[in-house]
Homo-oligomer: A and B are copies of this chain.
Amino acid sequence: MPWTKVYEDRSEFAAAVKKDPNLRGLTYRDAILEASTQLLEHDKDFFILGEGVDDPGGVFGTTKGLADRFGDKRVMDTPLAENGVTGIAMGAALTGLRPLLVHMRVDFMTLSLDQIANHAAKWGYMFAGAVKVPLTIRAIIGRGWGSAAQHSQCLQAMFTSVPGLKVVMPATPYDAKGLLTASVYDDNPVIFIEHRALYEQIGHVPEEPYKVELGKAIVRQKGSDVTIVASSQMVTEAMKAGRQLKNDGIECEIIDLRTLKPMDRVTILGSVNKTGRLVIADNGWKEGGYSASVSAIVSEEAFSALKAPIQRVALPNVPTPASHVLEAAYYKSYIDIIEAVKRITG
């Protein structure tokens, strides 16, 4: 199906369009913009707020033009006050609105962790369902060009460590639109993390609104030798790795998690039970990272199927350095995934 396909580059998508001229392509960035636009059009309870959402640049293009079209009450610039504004958005959500709070960088969310972890995440449980928190928080992972330690983090491990949150990380334009729409209509706080390196990625995106169900992973590629569990930008790397490994006769089953919390254990365990080998590729740090959560569940629940040590491809245990030389040494790519697969196959 065209929407499950990951197009690694524009030429690949162009080729697909040649075959099927009805295939509608959109970038990941525009998919987010389209979801937001349609939500603003169709749902009067929905609004967007955040620092610079009305900026001419429109948060790297993802909110471009919306303030002009929908006005500053529905697309609302805010002071730089992350904790306060998160609580304010949560308060609005408690009354039944569906706010979408936008952060240019996930790094700034450390400031609002109290409202996220001690409030939004706990409200439904603490009041035994008397209240709902239909709040979605978009946050972008930056990377490269010397962004350095405070503008490049992948903090999913922080969020997945807190019961009550949902954590979503789309890897394709189709998912970016469908998961964002589903997140907004979810009655729970959702942390929606985008990777800026994906913004230019193109793929099939239907025009009409649709949802992609939260909590369900998707198998991007079937294979019998090894399972690769990835999310966000690491899915692209995993697909690349999978293609090269095929040439070497290794068939990878590639799972795109889509939602990190709640985790789709069934899909992960099903695959590992089949392949017996697991590589986890995560954009975050390895030590204390989300990759450990996947690993731990598999070694608890599919231990007898495992034929080799679980491998994790994730960042080394240091903050992001600025110099491009150090950045190059820091970030992981398909090459690291290939190496990890090879360590446990053959």
**Residues on A close to B: CB < 8 A?**
83, 107, 110-111, 113-114, 116-118, 121-122, 125-126, 148-150, 155, 157-158, 160-164, 261, 263, 284-285, 287-293, 295-301, 303-304, 306, 308-312, 317-319, 321
Contacts and interface: CB of A to CB of B under 8 A. Distances in A.
Contacts of A110: 113-114, 116-118
Contacts of A306: 299, 303
8 contacts: A118-B149, A125-B149, A157-B161, A164-B319, A292-B297, A296-B310, A300-B312, A303-B306
A321 B163 CA distance: 12
A126 B149 contact: yes
For A290, A303, A319, A321, the residue with the greatest tally of chain B CB atoms inside 10 Å of its CB is A319
A317 B107 contact: no
- A-B pairs, 3 with minimum CB distance: A303-B309, A292-B296, A295-B296
A163 B126 contact: no
B113 A289 contact: no
Nearest to A314: B296
B290 A300 contact: no
Contacts of A149: 118, 122, 125-126
Given A113-B113, A157-B157, A300-B312, A118 B150 contact: yes
Given A162-B288, A303-B306, 14 more contacts: A122-B319, A125-B149, A126-B148, A126-B149, A160-B287, A161-B288, A163-B317, A163-B318, A287-B293, A288-B290, A291-B296, A292-B297, A295-B299, A303-B308
Contacts of A300: 295, 309-312
Nearest to A148: B126
B310 A299 contact: yes
Given A160-B287, A261-B287, A285-B163, A309 B319 contact: no
Copy total for this chain: 2
A176 B123 CA distance: 35
A312 B296 contact: yes
Contacts of A321: 125
A308 to B, nearest CB: 7
A148 to B, nearest CB: 7
Nearest to A126: B149
A287 B288 CA distance: 12
A310 B263 CA distance: 19
Nearest to A108: B114
Nearest to A157: B161
Nearest to A263: B287
Contacts of A155: 161
Contacts of A297: 292
Contacts of A117: 110, 158
Contact of A158 (B150, B161, B311, B317): B161
Contacts of A289: 161
A84 B107 CA distance: 18
A157 B162 CA distance: 9
Nearest to A115: B110
For A83, A114, A148, the residue with the greatest tally of chain B CB atoms inside 10 Å of its CB is A114
A289 B289 CA distance: 10
A302 to B, nearest CB: 8
A85 to B, nearest CB: 14
A297 B339 CA distance: 18
